[in-house]
Amino acid sequence: MTRRIISILLFIILIIGYAYAQTAASLQLSGIADLEPITKKDRILILAPHPDDETIGCASIIQEAVNVGAEIQVVYFTNGDHNQVAFIVYEKRLTLRKGEFIHMGEVRRREAIKAMKLLGLNEENLIFLGYPDFGTFTIFRDFWQTNKPFKGILTRISRVPYKENLSYNAPYTGESILSDLKFVLKKYKPNKIFVSHPADTNVDHKALYLFLQISLADLDKELPQPKIYPYLIHCVGWPLPRHYHPELALLPPQQFLDSQVQWFKRELSPGQLNKKYRAIFCYQSQTSSSAFYLLSFARKNELFGDYPSVELTLSPPTLKEKQISFKNKLVAFFGISNIFTDTGMGANGQEANPVADKGQVSYGLMDDSLLIRVGKTEKLNGKFNMMIHLFGYSYKTPFAQMPKIRIITKYNRFKVFDARKMIKAEDIESQLNPKDLILKVPLKILGEPDFVLASVKSYAGVLPVNTVSFRKINIRR
């Protein structure tokens, strides 16, 4: 009898806890703004890093666009031909030969066509580029102005191998990808673009966002600037619980709750959610091993949101300021008129907003240089390492010719790379303090940019401590 009473009490507690969690989630969801309605006049472009991302991230957008008669195109960045584990599970055999990788990509292409037909799109609404799965970020960083294109480590392929693709036989270089994206943008002239999120942990997802930013900047005077709605797919420990929970809301990850990301939601009708569920299962090559993960995105709503750009104003230094060392300037400013203050104003009135999640990273300008401040704890002093990417863009210089800077720090030392080449950067200065590390990077090293795409990863030895998404830093002169 006692066991029965305990079981009943536990069941009641579980029901109350579940109801409480549902109520809390509904309240959180109600605090997220609704995505503006899609109308017949819209021209929608969905950029998917791999076949299936468009379904798990944007199925409601696709269905609504079809429903209202809006123009819509889906562009697949890669054919998703590098997921060996999924294909071993799916085809029950090893796939290590070059032809087998191409076969993987063709399978996923057919799956995408099937999924999109279920959601209401025809094959003519789909564009496949076929660039290397798991290789596009390396291309963005390292492979410009080269006669030796990127070659996949496992595939050993260096050109787009799919004859049906828009970019068939294009070399794996930054120029090829940029050219294709600009071709699509000029042809379809979208007013709304849905693209993978810059904070996504998958490198192809980051790269597609970055290539889009460069493409839009190149076309700044040719096309009206569209609205950009990034969607997040890969984030550690999110979404939970796994598996299919159509009764639950899709909420932003906890680590983004204190960030500056402005989230928007679009709720799905029961019919739309059912179609999304079925479309996910069109990707049998992926659901054979990862259905528990993919189905966790089939929920009441979909999420979209991006960071705002960081706005910095460059003021030329006075003669007196030029004569003061970087270290002494920091000593003078700290505790008095800190370069990185909560009000967002720094030396000489330059904006220096804390821009990272939970205030871990902030940016500023001083003496024709970009300042990067990364917070840490005192106990990390001897183990604190960082990897910083800085991609400058200038309206006067082709992006292929701009430096692609990567800075690797170890304690108070650092190495600097421009693409794959280590460079001397004697003008870069660093200041390691008990609670932060500050780098001063002259803008000339970045190519005198109009804006910079910047990201920071910090480590305790080899263990990750914090990752801060790519941010667009506009530099006003």
The pLDDT-based confidence of 330 (bands split at 50, 70, 90) is low
Containing H/E element for 287?
helix 284-294
- Residue 198 is encoded by which pair of tokens? 């810059």
- Please state, in angstroms and rounded to a whole number, the distance separating the CA atoms of residues 128 and 115: 14
Q: Is the pLDDT reported for residue 21 higher than 50?
A: no
How many domains does one find in the chain? Answer: 2
> At which residue do the structure tokens 């993919």 appear?
294
Percent of the chain with pLDDT over 90: 66
> What average pLDDT is seen over the chain?
86
Q: Looking at residues 164-190, what average pLDDT do you find? A: 97
State whether 314 and 198 are in the same domain. no
* In a domain? residue 7: no
State whether 218 and 331 are in the same domain. no
239: helix, strand or coil: coil
pLDDT at 101: 86
For the ranges 31-40, 275-284, 375-384, 416-425, which has the lowest average pLDDT? 375-384
State whether 111 and 251 are in the same domain. yes
pLDDT tens digits, residue range 236-268? 999 999 999 999 999 999 888 777 899 999 999
State whether 130 and 38 are in the same domain. yes
Q: Is the pLDDT reported for residue 221 higher than 50?
A: yes
In the sheet that holds 463-476, the strands lie side by side as 310-313, 463-476, 451-460, 384-393, 404-410, 413-418, 421-423
User: Burial level of 314, CB count in 10 A (0-12/13-18/19+)?
Assistant: middle
State whether 322 and 195 are in the same domain. no
Q: Looking at residues 2-26, what average pLDDT do you find? A: 52
| Residue 435 C-alpha from the chain's centroid | 28
Q: Is the pLDDT reported for residue 337 higher than 50?
A: no
Of 265, 363, 262, 263, whose CA–CA distance to 310 is shortest? 363
* In a domain? residue 15: no
**Helix 53-68 and helix 98-119: axis angle, to 10°?**
30
State whether 295 and 187 are in the same domain. yes
285 vs 16, more confident: 285
State whether 301 and 314 are in the same domain. no
**Helix 53-68 and helix 270-280: axis angle, to 10°?**
140
**Helix 203-218 and helix 174-188: axis angle, to 10°?**
60
- 262, 281, 306: which is the final residue of a domain? 306
* In a domain? residue 19: no
- 263, 278, 306: which is the final residue of a domain? 306
State whether 200 and 240 are in the same domain. yes
Beta carbons of 63 and 119 less than 8 angstroms apart: yes
What's the CATH code of the domain at 42? Answer: 3.40.50.10320
- Please state, in angstroms and rounded to a whole number, the distance separating the CA atoms of residues 291 and 285: 10
Q: Is the pLDDT reported for residue 176 higher than 60?
A: yes
> At which residue do the structure tokens 């804006």 appear?
451
Containing H/E element for 55?
helix 53-68
| Residue 20 C-alpha from the chain's centroid | 33
Nearest 10 degrees: CA dihedral of 57, 62, 68, 70?
Answer: 110
* In a domain? residue 12: no
State whether 147 and 231 are in the same domain. yes
The pLDDT-based confidence of 13 (bands split at 50, 70, 90) is low
Q: Is the pLDDT reported for residue 228 higher than 90?
A: yes
Contacts of 108 (CB under 8 A, 6+ apart): 50, 51, 52, 79, 80, 81, 283, 285, 286
pLDDT at 20: 40
User: Burial level of 379, CB count in 10 A (0-12/13-18/19+)?
Assistant: exposed
State whether 442 and 413 are in the same domain. yes
Start-end of H helices in 69-202: 84-91, 98-119, 136-142, 174-188
pLDDT at 346: 35
Q: Looking at residues 75-80, what average pLDDT do you find? A: 97
* In a domain? residue 24: no
State whether 113 and 259 are in the same domain. yes
- Please state, in angstroms and rounded to a whole number, the distance separating the CA atoms of residues 407 and 413: 10
What's the CATH code of the domain at 345? Answer: 2.60.40
96 vs 292, more confident: 292
In terms of residue numbers, what domain contains 163? 29-306
The string of DSSP letters for 180-234 reads: HHHHHHHHH--SEEEEE-TT-SSHHHHHHHHHHHHHHHHTTTTSPPPEEEEE---
Of 405, 264, 412, 244, whose CA–CA distance to 327 is shortest? 412
Start-end of H helices in 31-52: none
pLDDT tens digits, residue range 418-456? 999 999 988 899 888 888 889 999 999 999 999 999 999
State whether 37 and 146 are in the same domain. yes
pLDDT tens digits, residue range 121-165? 999 999 999 999 999 999 999 999 999 999 988 788 999 999 999
- 275, 306, 337: which is the final residue of a domain? 306
* In a domain? residue 421: yes
Handedness of CA 263, 268, 272, 274 (dihedral sign): positive
Beta carbons of 221 and 186 less than 8 angstroms apart: no
